[in-house]
Each structure stands twice: as C-alpha cells, then as structure tokens.
C-alpha cells in the first residue's frame, strides 16, 4: 500500500485492478467492501494508471497495488510500486493478510478466498521510502527489500492463522 499524507480525515483506499474479466469480478467484491477501484494495469496502461495513482496519493489517500503484478511470478515484487514511490515521494507500506479458513484457487497467484466462520489478520511491515534520486541499483535493492518483507510478513500471518502458504 502507498499512503498519502493526510491522516486527519477519513482516508479512501483505491485498489489498482486489471480490466481483465477476473479483475472485473475482484473489482465488484472490492467495491462492496467499501474500497475504490482504479481500473487498468501498469503493464498495458502504465502511464494512465500511474497518473491516476499519483492523483490519489496527492489527494492524501491510499493506493493498494498487488506487487507481483497481473501475471507474476508469484511472490516476486515488480518494480511498479518502487517506481511509484520514487515519483510520488510517498512510502510503501508492505501489507498482507491471512485467514484461518480459506479456499486457495489453483492459479498462478494462488488466489485466496476467505471462508465463513474463520478468523483473519492483517499485518504490515516498516514503511519503505524510495529517494526521488534513486538510481537503478538502489531501486533494485529496495524492490528486493519489499519482496522479502512481504514474504516474511505473509509467512508470519499464515502461522498466526494456523495455515500455511498453499
């Protein structure tokens, strides 16, 4: 997640979700949970999506990004969040969740559906700041730091919920 600067108001959370049919289903679920949807992908519509996310952040709100992108590989952070943090000057807050009762879909991303009557947890790690003058080597180090942070807290969340990564 990337955070805007104004914590004194009720923040809006915007999730970047693909226009793909699978993304449309996820968009409907996300909207019903009270989140806002930014349609597009950093791969196909990178400039438009980046512009939208920068505006959301400038307005002091939050942007949620799936760091392994629309096609993976699984648990491998892409450079998208790092680049957005560099341009926006906003931190990345590595965030994950797990649930005690779930159904994991047999897809590249191991999509997780939370089942009824379970317990869940959200965890986050220390914010990651990307300097606006970061060179390629620094950005790669921060991408690896983000990836490792997400893997670590996801493992911890699964352990707390008594599940493992399927």
| 152 within domain boundaries | yes
Name the residue with higher pLDDT: 165 or 85.
85
pLDDT band (50, 70, 90) for residue 69: low
| 93 within domain boundaries | yes
Segment (H or E) for 154: helix 136-160
User: Among the listed ranges 61-65, 140-144, 155-159, which one has the minimum average pLDDT value?
Assistant: 61-65
User: Which residues, 6+ apart, have CB-to-CB distance to 100 below 8 Å?
Assistant: 118, 119, 120, 161, 162, 163
| 103 within domain boundaries | yes
pLDDT in tens, 85-136: 999 999 999 999 899 998 887 776 777 778 899 999 999 999 999 999 999 9
| 166 within domain boundaries | no
Residue whose token pair is 């730091």: 145
How far is it, in rounded angstroms, from Cα 8 to Cα 141? 33
Residue whose token pair is 């959301």: 56
Alpha-carbon Rg for the chain in angstroms: 16
Number of domains, the chain: 1
| 44 within domain boundaries | yes
DSSP state of 3: E
Helix and strand numbers, DSSP H then E, in the chain = 4, 8
- What percentage of residues in the chain have a pLDDT greater than 90? 43
pLDDT in tens, 6-58: 444 577 888 888 777 767 778 888 788 888 888 776 556 667 888 899 999 99
pLDDT band (50, 70, 90) for residue 71: low
| 165 within domain boundaries | no
Domain span at 140 = 2-160
Whether residue 70 has pLDDT greater than 80: no
pLDDT band (50, 70, 90) for residue 73: confident
């Amino acid at each position: 997640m990337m955070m805007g600067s104004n914590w004194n108001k009720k923040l809006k959370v915007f999730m970047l979700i693909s226009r793909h049919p699978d993304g449309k289903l996820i968009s409907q679920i996300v909207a019903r949970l009270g989140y806002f949807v930014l349609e597009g992908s950093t791969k196909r519509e990178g400039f438009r999506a980046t512009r939208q996310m920068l505006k959301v952040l400038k307005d002091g709100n939050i942007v949620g990004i799936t760091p392994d992108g629309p096609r993976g590989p699984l648990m491998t952070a892409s450079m998208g969040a790092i680049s957005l943090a560099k341009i926006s000057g906003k931190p990345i807050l590595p965030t994950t969740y797990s649930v005690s009762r779930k159904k994991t879909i047999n897809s590249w991303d191991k999509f997780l559906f939370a089942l009824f009557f379970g317990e869940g947890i959200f965890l986050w790690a220390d914010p990651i700041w990307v300097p606006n003058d970061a060179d390629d080597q620094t950005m790669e180090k921060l991408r690896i730091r983000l990836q490792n942070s997400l893997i670590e807290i996801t493992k911890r969340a699964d352990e707390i919920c008594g599940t493992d990564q399927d």
